Structure 1
Amino acid sequence: MRMTDVPSFGNLEGLTVVCMGNTIAAPFAAELMAEHGACVIYVENTDRPDIGRVSLCPYGFITEHRNELFMAINLKNIEGEQVFIEILKKTDILIEGLKGGTFTELGLSDKRLWAENEKLVIVHVSGFGESGLAEYLRRPSYDPIGQAAGGFMSINGFPEPSPPLRAPFVCDYYTALFACWSALAAQMGAQRTGVGESVDVSQMEVMWKLQYGYPLEYFYSGVVHPRQGNEERDYICFGTYLCGNGRYVFICCIANGPARGLLKVLGKDNDPTYPENIQLFRRGDVAAEKVETALKQYCLDNEAEKVEKELNANGVPCSFIHDIETIQTDPQALERGLFTEWSDDRFGKLKGVNIVPKMSNRPGMFWGGARDHGADNRDILSELGYTDKKIEELYKKGVLAELRDGGYFASKAMHIKNRDQINIIMEEEKNEDF
């Protein structure tokens, strides 16, 4: 598939993005752009595909690489480097997710790339950044490392036993969002000034950025914010509540409107104990604790669906705690088309989450599923002026590659629900040449 074959749609129509870097942070940033019209080329290693392809069941990779073109280039080969440079000459944004400093070591420093394309926006995504102590720059980092180094584990979960890992991959996804918005901001600057930009996104720093006022609280008053589970430190009528049918809801009773609404539902709206301007139910306050006790009993006496409906009708924020099965019948999810189907060349018709967010005038769309490893090498290079003979030479030299089964290690495991069957397939494929 050629770059010019990408359909025209969305707010990012005409934008060309090249991305390389294993699941998830850097690739997801590019995927968000692809869903809104950018032409995204995902570049993988010639002999080691994205780790998402070789996981037990590559659902994540398939979901988060829709609308993309795929190449496999050996950047350690001088001709591979030149192929990559030729692509970047036609590129607006490069997103790379390798260890800090790796691109410079490959001879692809920002300065070198700007010599070829002065307006190029270069986004570096790594665990600890592109500058600083060499020891940190070379550290490998995945989502859990970012959560740990970024202090996120220390403020989440219950006090005991150990700091938890938040799923799925919250550090990677937060990092991807920062990479995406900063890339587009830098692109606006490049369009205005004619000068490119280098963006340095660190997983560790992203996670510290997302900690509300906790760092300020520490610097101002010396308080280290504790892990407190699903409860708020200072007030109650806020948290997870078990209902009569064994399901849970989450209730957030904050501010005057919700507080008055909750008192009404519990039959305490005329109780003079609670002033008209009540904002919160303070932890430790005797009257507030009575409301908390009544709320717990109210939930136990009713099914979760009724609790959700009645509290919301009275202005109290409350949601049924959904899983993937229960959300299938949620009327709002159905009305807005939360899930959609698309066609995948290898796995057929698939279903997953739709475009988020929704755009009214120039909406996003899915035009195709994830493609095989190196699937578009030939078309893209032909589009750039390479002859068929030259392309074949590059394959023979190992500059380009297309791996067996599209690079999927456990491709046969798709649609198999029995874990033992999947393990058998894994053992079979381990014994085959890859």
Structure 2
Amino acid sequence: MALETNKPSFGVLDDVKVVYAAVELAAPKACDLMADWGADVTWLENTGAGDTIRDTAYVKQAERRNQRSVSMNYFSDEGKEILFKMLADADVFIEASKGGTWARKGITDEVLWEINPKLVIVHLSGFGQSGDPKMVKRAAYDLTVMAYSGYMSQNGTQEQPMNPGPYAGDYFNSLMIVSSTLAALHKANRTGKGESIDLAMYETLLAIGQYYLVDYLNEGILWPRPGARNQNLCGIGEYKCNDGFLGVCLYGVDQNKYFLETIGLGHLWGTEDIPEDTSGLWLANPHAAEIEAAFEAYCLEHSKYEIEADFAAHRIAAQVVMEFEDLVKEEHLKLRDDFMDWETEDGKTFKGLGVFPKFQQTPGQVWRPMPKQGGDTADVLTKLGYTADQIAALNESGVVKVAE
């Protein structure tokens, strides 16, 4: 199918133009979100194999919809000229690389602001644009910044730290990119002056992981890795039932009283160790091991659905751990239209997710599927003023790549 090249008017970011140069997940996912919300997004790919997301079977279709693909060597002299023309009327430029890469290629913030003084520039890297030179220049992936940030060390078991998946470090950073970009854009629109954001992935994870880090900074407390339980409280974690797993988050006076009665330990309520105003059943309590053992035994004797329904009726937060096959059958997701289908460029039906969150007055939408590598190169360059002969010459010389 021939893809539409003129973005329809929709979404809360309808007047925002974004250009980005990055591969795989963190920065592209941020741009995917903004594209779903109406931003005009151009994805810069190299002229070789392109974005490594293209090696995946399906997620590429989910996270590169609503975007244009321009394949080019943006570090060549002619490529820089094209890039500068693209950024002349852009609102946001996002690049992901080792710290200082673009500046070493002669594309500094100051050069870009000479072209567009209001431009918001986001430099995404694993370890930042400044600091220890050996860290600034170090390659980074989701797992390695998770390891460096201390976030990984808080997850897993006593014997083995584990990386939360899938690619949580990347996706946490996607949200930081979106939020900081829109904050800077607000300032640029108000003052007429652009902004440069030095976004180090590990610092995002420091911020996300500070819940227990500050206990260490202030008192030297090191909480153990909890595995499938909570570091501090009883009745919080993932519990095995006779037909699967249940996630439970127990907290509150009435909730604790009912919980103890249900698992056969109601006699502990109102005692010196667990007085009647107890809102949290702390692991420091002398009955903690007894409570956990009783609840584990109770779960093994009951259905996850039975416990979920009973706890929900008594205001205890509990949810069955959903597998993929459960998600696609779940009525609530259907009623909220969380899944949707769209047609790919080769005419196949792709099953994916809708646009989140659900803006009530100005909803997002899917207006085009993922394009081929360089699928929009000719169209974008034409709109920049290049002739067909000039585009053909640039394609022939390898400065750009035009999809066949």
State if a TM-score over 0.5 links the two structures.
yes
Q: Which residue of 1 aligns with 2:10?
A: 9
Structure 1 residue 9: Cα displacement: 0.6
CA distance in 2, matches of 1:176, 1:238: 28
Q: Which residue of 1 aligns with 2:393?
A: 393
Task: Label 1:312 to 1:212 Cα distance change in 2 as closer, same or farther (>3 A).
Answer: farther
CA distance in 2, matches of 1:376, 1:324: 35
Q: Which residue of 2 aligns with 1:208?
A: 206
Amino acid at match of 2:310: E
Contact 1:13 1:39 in 2 (8 A): yes
CA distance in 2, matches of 1:298, 1:226: 25
CA distance in 2, matches of 1:283, 1:113: 55
Q: Percent identity?
A: 32
CA distance in 1, matches of 2:72, 2:4: 17
Contact 2:19 2:90 in 1 (8 A): yes
Once the two structures are superposed, what CA deviation does each residue of 1:21-55 show, in whole Å capped at 9, x if it has no partner? 1111111111110000000000011113111113x
Once the two structures are superposed, what CA deviation does each residue of 1:290-327 show, in whole Å capped at 9, x if it has no partner? 44333223322221111111111111111111121111
Structure 1 residue 360: Cα displacement: 0.7
CA distance in 2, matches of 1:257, 1:360: 36
Once the two structures are superposed, what CA deviation does each residue of 1:68-125 show, in whole Å capped at 9, x if it has no partner? 0110111232111100100000210001111111111221100000000000000011
Question: Alignment partner of 2:68: what SS?
Answer: strand
CA distance in 2, matches of 1:77, 1:397: 11
Structure 1 residue 7: Cα displacement: 1.3
Residue 152 in 1 paired to residue 141 in 2? Answer: no
Q: Which residue of 2 aligns with 1:251?
A: 248
Q: Which residue of 2 aligns with 1:223?
A: 221
Q: Which residue of 2 aligns with 1:419?
A: none
Q: Which moved more, 1:274-283 or 1:371-380?
A: 274-283
Q: Which residue of 2 aligns with 1:330?
A: 330
Residue 120 in 1 paired to residue 119 in 2? Answer: yes
Contact 2:4 2:368 in 1 (8 A): no
Q: Which moved more, 1:294-303 or 1:68-77?
A: 294-303
Once the two structures are superposed, what CA deviation does each residue of 1:135-176 show, in whole Å capped at 9, x if it has no partner? 22211111111111111111110011x321221111111111
| TM alignment of 1:217-296, pairs within 5 A | 217-245=215-243, 247-263=244-260, 265-266=262-263, 272-273=270-271, 274-296=274-296
Structure 1 residue 268: Cα displacement: 5.7
CA distance in 2, matches of 1:312, 1:86: 57
Structure 1 residue 12: Cα displacement: 0.3
Structure 1 residue 134: Cα displacement: 2.1
Q: Give the TM-score taking structure 2 as reference length.
A: 0.94
Structure 1 residue 265: Cα displacement: 3.8
Q: Give the TM-score taking structure 1 as reference length.
A: 0.88
Contact 1:265 1:311 in 2 (8 A): no
Between Structure 1 and Structure 2, how many residues are aligned?
Answer: 400
Residue 18 in 1 paired to residue 19 in 2? Answer: yes
Once the two structures are superposed, what CA deviation does each residue of 1:243-289 show, in whole Å capped at 9, x if it has no partner? 122x0001111222432342454466685445432211222534454
CA distance in 2, matches of 1:50, 1:60: 13
CA distance in 1, matches of 2:75, 2:237: 53
Amino acid at match of 1:256: V
CA distance in 2, matches of 1:137, 1:346: 41
Q: Which residue of 2 aligns with 1:375?
A: 375
Amino acid at match of 2:360: S
Task: Label 1:4 to 1:350 Cα distance change in 2 as closer, same or farther (>3 A).
Answer: closer
Q: Which residue of 1 aligns with 2:134?
A: 135
Once the two structures are superposed, what CA deviation does each residue of 1:395-430 show, in whole Å capped at 9, x if it has no partner? 1221111467xxxxxxxxxxxxxxxxxxxxxxxxxx
* RMSD, aligned CA: 2.0
CA distance in 1, matches of 2:375, 2:192: 33
Contact 2:98 2:138 in 1 (8 A): yes
Question: Alignment partner of 1:175: what SS?
Answer: helix
